[in-house]
Amino acid sequence: MISGKVVLTCAQPTGKLHLGNYLGAVKHWADVSANNECYFGIADMHAITVAYNPTQLRANVYECLAQYLACGIDPEKSAIFPQSGVIGHTELAWILACLCPIGMLERMTQYKDKSEKQKGFIGSGLLYYPVLMASDVLLYNADIVPVGEDQRQHMELCRDLAQKFNQTYSDTFTIPEALISKSGARIMSLQDPYSKMSKSDPNQSGVLYMIDSADALKKKIMSAVTDSDSYVKFAEEKKGVSNLMTIYSVFTGKNFQEIENEFEGKGYGDFKKSVADVVISSLNPIREKYLKYIEDKNFLDSILQKGIESAQRRANKILFKARRKAGFYQPLKEK
């Protein structure tokens, strides 16, 4: 367990969190926040690199915050804030962009993948995205950045830009370390166990959302793809069953051998029912808290405002130093 560090992580407000988001990231944030100075950014500026609805984006920020609170993130211990609410993210991003070779951005795997999938107009923000992400991290001089495996390449760029700034102007930024969770990080679709669980899955029956009702969770799990066998075993050729075993393992703490022993001689129906029971008992309290929080917009606004003020105080210190090192004019302070 890390302790005494500055921890920063940002996630886009994409509406409902699914089980993969929770087990791979959010569940661990609450643990990390206990002994560290934590900043949890809701990355609404990153969310506009693709076509979006402004009204829905604002609503998603509230939904994201309510789900974070329901998952156990304590606003008294951590700053939870919308990225767009803190001055400095885009200003530092411009300084870093001027140090970043464009070839490094063009080689980013996510840029190549998304630009291929995105038909028609492609905004330059999609290319520039990793620089803004680097700015998100360096603006708080974070020591640790919890991210998913898919962000590893972006974090390497962030470290490179921090080092380049330090070499160009003098030591300013901490070189951050990526914290990539191993437990529960690869939850697959219930309908296509060869693909990661994703909000964009065309078959929503394969996605377990944190705020799904008990009936919805049970229906999705009971209809999960398995195979033509009838025995519970963790194996490469049994992707669907192995995925359900992974979910069951995370919530019960049992290893795969213990799960196989538990369901020896039993069919998939019994196994799926047990998976559904542990998922529902674990997620229902989160759903109930979410439904309470999302109805109290004034409370959510107060949390966001407090988070903005806390994040801005730290960002101001780092931005002032970076501006001075880069040679920018520093406005006179008010007397």
- Catalytic one of 77, 112, 164, 196: 196
196 is known as an active-site residue:
yes
114 is known as an active-site residue:
yes
Pull the structure tokens for residue 211.
């705020």
Among the listed residues 94, 103, 100, 90, the one whose alpha carbon sits nearest the alpha carbon of residue 164: 100
| Sheet with strand 144-147: strands edge to edge | 78-82, 37-42, 6-11, 144-147, 177-180
- Catalytic one of 16, 199, 233, 321: 199
DSSP result, 242-292:
HHHHHHHHHHH---HHHHHHHTTT--HHHHHHHHHHHHHHHHHHHHHHHHH
- Catalytic one of 16, 114, 266, 306: 114
Max Cα-Cα span within the chain: 79
Q: Cα–Cα distances in Å, from 115 out to 50, 107, 109, 123, 294?
A: 10, 12, 10, 9, 34
126 bridge partner residues: none
Q: How far apart are CA 40 and CA 19, in angstroms?
A: 19
Active site residues: 114, 196, 199
